[in-house]
Structure 1
C-alpha cells in the first residue's frame, strides 16, 4: 500500500472509533477482556504518543506509559495524541529514520503502516464494545494487515525472540497452514517458522474474504472464514499469533 493510502485508512478508522466511543465509554470490550471502551480509547492515545516520540526522538520510549497520562481524560488524550501523530507524519518523510522494534525497518514509513493497522483493529474493538455494526474494512487494508501480522509480528517475532514461542511450538513436528484471503494468499510453516507469498498444499487451510480473515487472525469477531484440514495446525498458528501480539 502507498503511504497516502495508509493515512486515508488511519483517518477513516480514527473517525469511526471517535464516533462510537463517547456514548459507550463504560461498556466492556469483549475482544479486550478487562478493558472498557474508555480504557481502549486511552490505550490508542498512548500508542499514538509512543510512536510520535519514536519518530521524534529516534528511539521508542521506555518505560512506558508516563504516569501523568493516567490523569488525562481518555478522549482528550486520544484527540491530542492523534493530532500530534499526524503533525509528526507531516513533518517527516516516510524514509526518514525512526525508532521501532522491527529492526529491518527503522523508518517513519513503518509507523504509517503500523498505525493504520493498529487503528483499524481497535476501531473494531470500539464497535464491539459499543454494540454497533462493524464498518467495512477495505480489502487492500485487510490484506495488508494479514501480511503484516504473519510476517512482521509472528515470523519476525519467532526469529528474534524464539524462547517466547517455545511453549507454543513445543514438540511440533512442523505444520503448514495456507491462508487465503480474496486474491492474496500465504503459506505458513511453523518449524522453522516461515511465511511465503502464495498458498500451496498444506496441512490446513483458512479461507475467507480479506476482512474476515484479518479479524479471525486477530481473534476479533465471529468467524467468517472456512477452515479445512488438521485442527492441530490451525491451533499451532493461533498460539503463535497469541504470543506475538500479547
Structure 2
C-alpha cells in the first residue's frame, strides 16, 4: 500500500476530529437524545463509548507487544454532567495521543485484527482510531442536526483502512470466488479479492478489468457505507449487487 497518511498527520487529524466531535456534542440540545445512526445509544452513551476506547487503547499502546488488550489504570469513571463528561473524554484523547507519540509508528502492540493486512503496531492503532473518531463525529453531527462530509484526506485513508483492517482476512470466503471494487470519485480505487484463501485488498487503476461488483461514490460516502451509516444503495452500484449483502452477512472465523 502507498500514499497512506503519515504518522504525524494521523496524530494531527486525531486531534482535529476529536475537537470536531466535542463541538458537535456541545451543539446538541442535550445528551439524552438518541443517535440516529446508533439508535441503541444516547449521545452520552456515544461519548462514553469513545472515551472508554481512548483510555483502553492508550494503555494498550503504552504496554507494547502483548498477547491481550491492556486494562487502563487510574481512569476515573465517566461523569454524568455534560461538561465534565467532555473533559473526561479529552483526558482520554490526550492519553492516547501521548502514548502514540511516545511509542512512534512502528512499535508492536496488541490489536484485534491479527489476520488482516494491517500490522499490529501503534501506527495501525493511530490509523484505526482516527477512523473511529471520524465516523463517530458524523454520528454526533447528525444527532445535532448538522452532519458534515468527512474530510477528504481522512476519508480516502478510511476506505483503505477499513478494507485492510476489517475486511482482509485469511478465513475462507464461503461462496464462489469474487472481486469487488470500491471507486472513490476523488480518483482512488481498491479491489477486494474473495476466495477460499480469504479476502485481500489491493489498489487498482479505475480503468482495470471490471470486477464482479463495484461501488462508486465520494470517499466519505464509501466510508459511511462501509460502517453502515448510510445504505450501500446510496452509492452507484454495478455488477452483482448480491455480493454486498453477502459481505455484510459474512462473519469470518
- For the superposition of Structure 1 and Structure 2, which TM-score range results when normalised by the shorter chain? 0.7 to 0.9
Alignment of 1:178 onto 2:181: yes
Which of 96, 113, 117 does residue 131 from structure 2 map onto? 117
Q: What is the TM-score when the length of structure 2 is the normalising length?
A: 0.80
Q: 1:93-242 alignment to 2 at 5 Å?
A: 93-103=104-114, 105-134=119-148, 136-156=149-169, 159=170, 162=171, 170=174, 172-181=175-184, 182-192=186-196, 193-198=199-204, 200-221=209-230, 224-240=234-250
Partners of 1:204 and 1:231 within 8 A in 2: yes
Question: CA offsets per residue over residues 48-99 of structure 1, 9 Å max, x none?
Answer: 0111010122344367999973566542331221121122223232222322
Q: Cα offset for 1:237?
A: 2.4
Q: What is the TM-score when the length of structure 1 is the normalising length?
A: 0.82
Which of 5, 11, 29 does residue 7 from structure 1 map onto? 11
Partners of 1:190 and 1:237 within 8 A in 2: no
Match of 2:21 in 1: 17
Question: CA offsets per residue over residues 123-156 of structure 1, 9 Å max, x none?
Answer: 111112222132x322222121111111111113
For structure 2, the 5+ residue unaligned runs are none
Q: Distance in 2 between matches of 1:63 and 1:91?
A: 19
After TM superposition, the structure 1 stretch with the greater mean CA deviation from structure 2, 24-33 or 102-111, is 102-111
Partners of 1:187 and 1:200 within 8 A in 2: no
Partners of 1:46 and 1:65 within 8 A in 2: no
Q: 1:51-66 alignment to 2 at 5 Å?
A: 51-58=57-64, 59=66, 60-61=68-69
Q: Distance in 2 between matches of 1:65 and 1:27?
A: 31
3-state SS of 1:35 partner: strand
Q: How many residues align?
A: 231
User: If each structure's helix is expressed as a fraction of its own residues, which one has the higher value?
Assistant: 1
Partners of 1:176 and 1:233 within 8 A in 2: no
Q: Distance in 2 between matches of 1:175 and 1:137?
A: 29
Question: CA offsets per residue over residues 21-60 of structure 1, 9 Å max, x none?
Answer: 1334111112113101110100000110111010122344
Q: Cα offset for 1:105?
A: 2.2
- Aligned-pair RMSD on alpha carbons? 2.7
Match of 1:78 in 2: 89
Q: Distance in 2 between matches of 1:65 and 1:219?
A: 33
Partners of 2:78 and 2:88 within 8 A in 1: no
